[in-house]
Chains A and B, each alone.
Chain A
Amino acid sequence: MEAIGIGVWGVPLAVFAGAIRVSTPFIFVSLGEAITERSGRINLGLEGTLVFGAMTAYAVAVVTLSPWLGVLAAMAVGACFGIIHGFICKFPKVNDIAIGIAMMQFGLGLAFFLGKPFIQPAAPRLPAIAFGAWSDLPQIQAALNINVLFLVGAALALVFWWASRNTRVGLILRVVGDSSDAARAMGLNPDTVRLFATAAGGALAAIGGAYLSLYYPGSWNEGISSGQGLMAVALVIFARWNPIGCSLAALLFGGAGALGPALQSVGVTKGYYLFYAAPYVLTLVIMIATSSPTRSLAGAPGALSITK
Chain B
Amino acid sequence: MIIGEIRAPKSIPAVGIETVEMTMRFGSFTALDHVSIKVPAGTFHALLGENGAGKSTLVKCIMGFYHPTSGQLQVDGREVAIASPRDAATHGLGMVYQHFTLVPSLTGAENLVISRARVPTIINWPKEKKRLSAFMETMPFAIPLDRPVSALAAGEKQKLEIIKQLYLGRRFLVLDEPTSVLTPAEADDMLGLVRGMTERGELTVLMISHKFHEVTRFADAVSVLRRGRLSGAGRVSELSTADMAGMMIGDVKLAELDTRLPVSPHAAPVLAVKKVKAPDRTGLKPIEIDDLVVRSGEIVGIAGISGNGQKELSEVLAGQRGAEGAVIVKGRPYGATRLETRANNVRFIPEEPLNNACAQNMTVTENLAFRTFDLAKNGSDAIWLDARGMKKRAMALISEFKVKTASTASPIAALSGGNVQRAVLARELSGEVDLLIVSNPCFGLDFSAVAEIRARIMKVRNAGAAVLLMSEDLDELMEMSDRILVMSDGKLVYETPIREADVAVIGAHMAGHH
Q: In the assembly, what is the distance between CA of A185 and CA of B282, in Å?
A: 28
Q: In the assembly, what is the distance between CA of A175 and CA of B322, in Å?
A: 34
Q: In the assembly, what is the distance between CA of A165 and CA of B148, in Å?
A: 12
Q: Which of A166, A182, A296, A299 contacts B101 (CB 8 A)?
A: A182
Inter-subunit contact B279/A295 (CB<8 Å): yes
Determine if A151 is an interface residue (Cβ-Cβ < 8 Å).
Answer: no
Contact segment of B116-124, B342-350, B415-423, B467-475:
B116-124
- Chain A residues 281 to 308 lying within 8 A of chain B, measured CB to CB, are 292, 294-296, 298-299, 301-302
Known A186-B114, A294-B321; contact A302-B104, beta-carbon cutoff 8 A: yes
Determine if B383 is an interface residue (Cβ-Cβ < 8 Å).
Answer: no
Contact with A along B237-254 (1 / 0, CB 8 A): 000000000000000000
Q: In the assembly, what is the distance between CA of A171 and CA of B125, in Å?
A: 13
Contact segment of B105-113, B188-196, B298-306, B493-501:
B105-113
Determine if A189 is an interface residue (Cβ-Cβ < 8 Å).
Answer: no
Name the A residues within 8 Å of B8 (CB-CB): none
Name the B residues within 8 Å of A165 (CB-CB): 110
Inter-subunit contact B280/A295 (CB<8 Å): yes
Q: In the assembly, what is the distance between CA of A80 and CA of B282, in Å?
A: 38
Contact with A along B34-55 (1 / 0, CB 8 A): 0000000000000000000000
Determine if B407 is an interface residue (Cβ-Cβ < 8 Å).
Answer: no
Q: In the assembly, what is the distance between CA of A186 and CA of B278, in Å?
A: 39
Inter-subunit contact A294/B101 (CB<8 Å): no
Q: In the assembly, what is the distance between CA of A169 and CA of B120, in Å?
A: 10
Q: In the assembly, what is the distance between CA of A65 and CA of B284, in Å?
A: 56
- Chain A residues 189 to 210 lying within 8 A of chain B, measured CB to CB, are none
Determine if B262 is an interface residue (Cβ-Cβ < 8 Å).
Answer: no
Q: In the assembly, what is the distance between CA of A172 and CA of B121, in Å?
A: 11
Q: From residue B101, how far is it (CB to closest CB) to chain A in Å?
A: 5
Known A168-B123, A295-B280, A298-B282; contact A174-B101, beta-carbon cutoff 8 A: no
Determine if A187 is an interface residue (Cβ-Cβ < 8 Å).
Answer: yes
Inter-subunit contact B86/A187 (CB<8 Å): yes
Determine if B115 is an interface residue (Cβ-Cβ < 8 Å).
Answer: yes
Q: Name the residue of chain A whose CB is nearest to the CB of B279.
A: A294
Q: In the assembly, what is the distance between CA of A166 and CA of B283, in Å?
A: 31
Q: From residue B129, how far is it (CB to closest CB) to chain A in Å?
A: 12
Q: Name the residue of chain B whose CB is nearest to the CB of A241.
A: B105
Name the A residues within 8 Å of B123 (CB-CB): 166-168, 171
Determine if B81 is an interface residue (Cβ-Cβ < 8 Å).
Answer: no
Known A167-B121, A167-B122, A172-B114; contact A182-B103, beta-carbon cutoff 8 A: yes
Q: Name the residue of chain B whose CB is nearest to the CB of A168.
A: B119
Q: In the assembly, what is the distance between CA of A203 and CA of B284, in Å?
A: 38
Determine if A179 is an interface residue (Cβ-Cβ < 8 Å).
Answer: yes
Inter-subunit contact A171/B114 (CB<8 Å): yes
Q: In the assembly, what is the distance between CA of A178 and CA of B106, in Å?
A: 9
Q: Name the residue of chain A whose CB is nearest to the CB of B89.
A: A187
Determine if B102 is an interface residue (Cβ-Cβ < 8 Å).
Answer: yes
Determine if B332 is an interface residue (Cβ-Cβ < 8 Å).
Answer: no
Q: From residue B314, how far is it (CB to closest CB) to chain A in Å?
A: 15
Inter-subunit contact A292/B103 (CB<8 Å): no
Q: In the assembly, what is the distance between CA of A179 and CA of B121, in Å?
A: 21
Name the A residues within 8 Å of B211 (CB-CB): none
Inter-subunit contact A174/B106 (CB<8 Å): yes
Inter-subunit contact A178/B283 (CB<8 Å): no
Inter-subunit contact A171/B110 (CB<8 Å): yes
Inter-subunit contact A295/B284 (CB<8 Å): yes
- Chain A residues 146 to 180 lying within 8 A of chain B, measured CB to CB, are 165-169, 171-172, 174-175, 178-179
Name the A residues within 8 Å of B106 (CB-CB): 171, 174-175, 178
Number of A-B contacts (CB under 8 A): 67
Determine if B402 is an interface residue (Cβ-Cβ < 8 Å).
Answer: no
Q: Quick one: which of A167, A178, A294 has the most chain B CB within 10 A?
A: A294
Q: Quick one: which of B99, B282, B321, B322 has the most chain A CB within 10 A?
A: B282
Q: In the assembly, what is the distance between CA of A168 and CA of B123, in Å?
A: 7
- Chain B residues 276 to 306 lying within 8 A of chain A, measured CB to CB, are 278-284
Q: In the assembly, what is the distance between CA of A298 and CA of B282, in Å?
A: 8
Name the A residues within 8 Å of B122 (CB-CB): 166-168
Name the B residues within 8 Å of A186 (CB-CB): 114-115
Q: Which of B86, B103, B113, B282 contacts A179 (CB 8 A)?
A: B103
Q: In the assembly, what is the distance between CA of A299 and CA of B104, in Å?
A: 10
Name the A residues within 8 Å of B125 (CB-CB): 166
Name the A residues within 8 Å of B322 (CB-CB): 294
Q: In the assembly, what is the distance between CA of A295 and CA of B121, in Å?
A: 36
Name the B residues within 8 Å of A299 (CB-CB): 105
Inter-subunit contact B114/A295 (CB<8 Å): no
Name the B residues within 8 Å of A166 (CB-CB): 122-123, 125
Name the A residues within 8 Å of B115 (CB-CB): 186
Q: Name the residue of chain A whose CB is nearest to the CB of B280.
A: A295
Q: From residue B85, how far is it (CB to closest CB) to chain A in Å?
A: 8
Name the B residues within 8 Å of A295 (CB-CB): 279-284
Q: From residue B380, how far is it (CB to closest CB) to chain A in Å?
A: 35
Inter-subunit contact A302/B105 (CB<8 Å): yes
Q: In the assembly, what is the distance between CA of A105 and CA of B103, in Å?
A: 35
- Chain B residues 116 to 141 lying within 8 A of chain A, measured CB to CB, are 119-123, 125
Known A167-B123, A172-B114, A186-B115; contact A178-B105, beta-carbon cutoff 8 A: yes
Contact with A along B457-497 (1 / 0, CB 8 A): 00000000000000000000000000000000000000000
Inter-subunit contact B103/A174 (CB<8 Å): yes
Inter-subunit contact B114/A175 (CB<8 Å): yes
Q: Name the residue of chain B whose CB is nearest to the CB of A169.
A: B121
Q: From residue B6, how far is it (CB to closest CB) to chain A in Å?
A: 16
Q: In the assembly, what is the distance between CA of A175 and CA of B104, in Å?
A: 9
Q: In the assembly, what is the distance between CA of A185 and CA of B120, in Å?
A: 19
Q: From residue A299, how far is it (CB to closest CB) to chain B in Å?
A: 8
Q: In the assembly, what is the distance between CA of A172 and CA of B116, in Å?
A: 12
Inter-subunit contact B103/A178 (CB<8 Å): yes
Q: Name the residue of chain B whose CB is nearest to the CB of A166.
A: B123
Inter-subunit contact B104/A178 (CB<8 Å): yes
Name the B residues within 8 Å of A187 (CB-CB): 85-86
Known A294-B279, A296-B282, A298-B282; contact A181-B101, beta-carbon cutoff 8 A: yes
Q: Quick one: which of A165, A167, A182 has the most chain B CB within 10 A?
A: A182
Name the B residues within 8 Å of A301 (CB-CB): 105
Q: In the assembly, what is the distance between CA of A296 and CA of B86, in Å?
A: 36
Name the A residues within 8 Å of B97 (CB-CB): 185
Inter-subunit contact B283/A185 (CB<8 Å): no
Q: Name the residue of chain A whose CB is nearest to the CB of B283.
A: A295
Q: In the assembly, what is the distance between CA of A131 and CA of B114, in Å?
A: 43
The 6 closest A-B pairs by CB, nearest first: A295-B283, A168-B119, A171-B114, A178-B103, A294-B279, A185-B101
> Which residue numbers of B lie inside 8 Å of A, CB to CB?
85-86, 97, 99, 101-106, 110, 113-115, 119-123, 125, 278-284, 321-322
Q: Name 11 A/B residue pairs within 8 A (Cβ), A-sorted.
A: A168-B119, A168-B121, A171-B113, A171-B119, A174-B105, A175-B103, A185-B97, A294-B283, A295-B281, A295-B282, A298-B282
